[in-house]
Amino acid sequence: APTVLWFRRDLRLADNPALGEAVGEARAEGSDVVGLYVLDPALWATAGPVRQAYLARSLRALHASTGGRVVVRHGDPRAVVPAVCAEVGARSVHVAASYEPYGRRRDDAVEEALATAGVRLRRTGSPYAVAPGRVRTRGGTPFQVFTPFRTAWLEHGWRAPAPLPDDVAWAALASDGLPDAPEPGARLPEAGEAAALARWRAFLADGLADYPTDRDRPDLVGTSYLSPALKWGEIHPRTLLADLASAVRSGAVPEEAAATYRSELAWREFHADVLFHHPGAARRSLRTVVPEDAWATGAAEDAMLAAWREGRTGYPVVDAGMRQLLGTGWMHNRVRMIVASFLVKDLHVRWQRGAEHFMAHLVDGDVSQNQLNWQWVAGTGRDAAPYFRIFNPVTQGQKFDPDGAYVREWVPELRGIAGKAVHEPWKLAGAAPGYPERVVDHALERKVSLEDFERGRGR
Ligand code: FAD
């Protein structure tokens, strides 16, 4: 009987251990592999046009790389997966395990539905180098803090990349067809496994050596831009980690640069681990830092949120970031931190509202990475920036966009201002026609936030 490989957020063939398992089992049975993708309306509806478009393109690439054999079925996986198994007589379904709250619930329900028909759900691998929940303190408890987590994660280590099975016999089966996605309006990176690998190789050759110095500079192309590919599993972090190790061994890149990049991947694994242990963190703060009445409400909140979302707060680097998000479905990490801090600590809007906007527009939008990074900035996470550390949007802009090129790229109203003066357009009367006034005074709101924090501490 054929086996089923159910693709979810692992839209690749290379370094895909679940595929290896499915192929091995099918071969032993003298049969083939059904490559299944279930278009789950519950997930599709929440993906938003940007991720819908990216996913549709990624599936198209996967479909092409299997010789047109990806079987797409639309519907609730709890019904669809058992139905496909019944249709072909499969006795096992192979997946990479899911660790987010929705994926865990879905997989447990599918497993149960399959079991009643005598079919096994077999989980091999995960979207991470080390599965969430694995890395523990000596006492067996989860880590609360990033740095010791990273040390233990490095010590734990990971498997070598799984070999690419040759000549996979993909089964031909009726398909509901690839999803139609609306044109997103944002300029997205090229989707698919081949594009992800090409991007990674180019970065390894040309970008990684300067990564430690350039990664905080939104005006440069200083990062790998692999977050969409990691989110959708077009490339596995194990592949990246193995390539880093061999690039260091061959002398192609300095260990310091590789270590910095590895550390960013460790953050990704840490956030997934925290969400695994605290599924409620997707919605609720892991700790409370300011009193309830600190937050803007009603029309005031709506007005602040609208100015922030549309990139018209009057603070250039904030507005540039928010417009980059709408224009490309991506925002530089340094700027994500600046705009998130600004929303929470200058506009006094709860992090959940900002996270929601990010999830609606990010091509790499991922519940563990997004929610936990927001909690980190808001000071409510397990290992978070202290609440009293409040980014100054002007000095952050001057430091990380020193010539103002990033701001001028995304805020056309400011193109007439040369150099770093672009970060304080209010100092040059009439130089920025059409650019909004500042919605708040940072110095003042900073004080308000610090007072809120003091009041919160007393409780
Ligand atoms: P690089 O600098 O090239 O880093 C390589 C990889 O390391 C990234 O692709 C990513 O997987 C990982 N990484 C880097 N920085 C972080 C970080 N701070 N936390 C976790 N992993 C990291 N990342 C997402 O993938 N999805 C999100 O939804 C998301 N939301 C965020 C929200 C906020 C408020 C903040 C501050 C950060 C968020 N990030 C998110 C993390 C980070 O901004 C992006 O991963 C990064 O900008 C992606 O660009 P890159 O691939 O060029 O990064």
DSSP-assigned letters across all residues of 394-415: HHHHHHHSTTSHHHHHH-GGGT
Radius of gyration over every alpha carbon of the chain, rounded to an integer in angstroms: 23
How many distinct structural domains can be found in the chain? 3
pLDDT digits (tens, 9 = 90+) for 170-185: 999 999 999 888 888 8
How far is ligand 1, taken at its centre, from the CA of residue 47, in Å?
Answer: 18
Q: 144 and 72 in one domain?
A: no
Give the structural domain span for 66.
Answer: 3-126
Q: Please state the atom number of ligand 1 nearest to the C-alpha of residue 366.
A: 28
In a domain, 366, yes or no: yes
Strands (E), 40-119: 71-74, 92-95
**pLDDT confidence tier of residue 5, bands split at 50, 70 and 90:** very high
Determine the angle formed by the axes of helices 298-310 and 351-361, rounding to 10 degrees: 40
459 has pLDDT over 70: no
Look at residues 277, 305, 331 and tell me which one is the last residue of a structural domain.
Answer: 277
Percent of the chain whose predicted confidence (pLDDT) is above 70: 100
Task: Supply φ then ψ for residue 401, to 5 degrees.
Answer: -130, 65
- Cα–Cα distance measured from residue 108 to residue 93, given in angstroms and rounded to the nearest whole number: 13
Report the candidate in 189, 193, 156 with the shortest Cα–Cα distance to residue 15. 193
- Cα–Cα distance measured from residue 155 to residue 139, given in angstroms and rounded to the nearest whole number: 16
Q: What is the pLDDT of residue 382?
A: 75
Cα 328 vs. chain centroid, distance in angstroms?
14
Read off the pLDDT of each residue in 346-350 and give the average, rounded to a whole number. Answer: 98
**pLDDT confidence tier of residue 119, bands split at 50, 70 and 90:** very high
Q: Are β-strands 120-123 and 71-74 bridged in parallel, bridged antiparallel, or unpaired?
A: unpaired
Read off the pLDDT of each residue in 428-447 and give the average, rounded to a whole number. Answer: 95
336 lines ligand 1 (CB under 6 A): yes
pTM > 0.95: yes
Q: What is the DSSP letter of 172?
A: P
pLDDT digits (tens, 9 = 90+) for 96-116: 999 999 999 999 999 999 999
Going from the C-alpha of 95 to that of each of 9, 35, 166, 364, the distances in angstroms are 10, 11, 19, 21
Mean pLDDT of the chain: 96
In a domain, 141, yes or no: yes
Give the residue whose CA is nearest to atom 2 of ligand 1: 223
Q: Please state the atom number of ligand 1 nearest to the C-alpha of residue 362.
A: 28
Give the residue whose CA is nearest to atom 17 of ligand 1: 267
Cross-sheet strand order for the sheet of 71-74: 71-74, 33-39, 3-7, 92-95, 120-123
Could you tell me which residues are beta bridge partners of residue 37? 7, 72
Q: Please state the atom number of ligand 1 nearest to the C-alpha of residue 331.
A: 47
Q: 447 and 420 in one domain?
A: yes
Going from the C-alpha of 320 to that of each of 216, 221, 364, the distances in angstroms are 15, 16, 19
244 lines ligand 1 (CB under 6 A): no
How far is ligand 1, taken at its centre, from the CA of residue 355, in Å?
Answer: 14
Residue 30 sits in a domain of what CATH number?
3.40.50.620
- All residues at 6 or more sequence positions from 261 whose CB lies less than 8 Å from its CB, including other chains: 208, 211, 224, 240, 244
Q: 200 and 103 in one domain?
A: no
271 lines ligand 1 (CB under 6 A): yes
186 has pLDDT over 80: yes
Report the candidate in 253, 360, 346 with the shortest Cα–Cα distance to residue 304. 346
373 lines ligand 1 (CB under 6 A): yes
Name the token pair of 273.
């681990």
364 lines ligand 1 (CB under 6 A): yes
- Cα–Cα distance measured from residue 378 to residue 370, given in angstroms and rounded to the nearest whole number: 12
How far is ligand 1, taken at its centre, from the CA of residue 37, in Å?
Answer: 26
- Cα–Cα distance measured from residue 150 to residue 457, given in angstroms and rounded to the nearest whole number: 29
Report the candidate in 136, 163, 161 with the shortest Cα–Cα distance to residue 237. 161
Q: 118 and 136 in one domain?
A: no
Q: What is the pLDDT of residue 26?
A: 96
Q: Please state the atom number of ligand 1 nearest to the C-alpha of residue 224.
A: 3
Q: Which of 221, 373, 396 to mutate to test the pocket of ligand 1 (most atoms within 8 A of CB)?
A: 373
Residue 382 sits in a domain of what CATH number?
1.10.579.10
Cβ 329 vs Cβ 321: under 8 Å = no
Q: 226 and 149 in one domain?
A: yes
57 has pLDDT over 80: yes
How far is ligand 1, taken at its centre, from the CA of residue 233, in Å?
Answer: 14
252 has pLDDT over 70: yes
Percent of the chain whose predicted confidence (pLDDT) is above 90: 93
**Exposed e or buried b for every residue in 167-181, given b needs 16+ CB within 10 A?**
ebebbebebeebbeb
370 lines ligand 1 (CB under 6 A): yes
**pLDDT confidence tier of residue 432, bands split at 50, 70 and 90:** very high
Q: Which of 271, 318, 333 to mutate to test the pocket of ligand 1 (most atoms within 8 A of CB)?
A: 333
In a domain, 217, yes or no: yes
How far is ligand 1, taken at its centre, from the CA of residue 69, in Å?
Answer: 32
pLDDT digits (tens, 9 = 90+) for 263-295: 999 999 999 999 999 999 999 999 999 999 999
- Containing 236, the helix (H) or strand (E) segment is none
CA dihedral for 429, 432, 433, 438, sign (positive or negative): negative
Q: 327 and 451 in one domain?
A: yes
383 has pLDDT over 90: no
- Cα–Cα distance measured from residue 104 to residue 359, given in angstroms and rounded to the nearest whole number: 20
- Tokens 């980014």 sit at which residue? 391
Q: 106 and 76 in one domain?
A: yes
268 lines ligand 1 (CB under 6 A): yes
Q: Which of 211, 231, 264, 366 to mutate to test the pocket of ligand 1 (most atoms within 8 A of CB)?
A: 264
Q: Which amino acid is at 184?
A: P
Q: What is the pLDDT of residue 386?
A: 82
400 lines ligand 1 (CB under 6 A): no
- Cα–Cα distance measured from residue 271 to residue 8, given in angstroms and rounded to the nearest whole number: 20
Residue 272 sits in a domain of what CATH number?
1.25.40.80
Report the candidate in 442, 216, 220 with the shortest Cα–Cα distance to residue 316. 442
Q: What is the pLDDT of residue 458?
A: 61
337 lines ligand 1 (CB under 6 A): yes
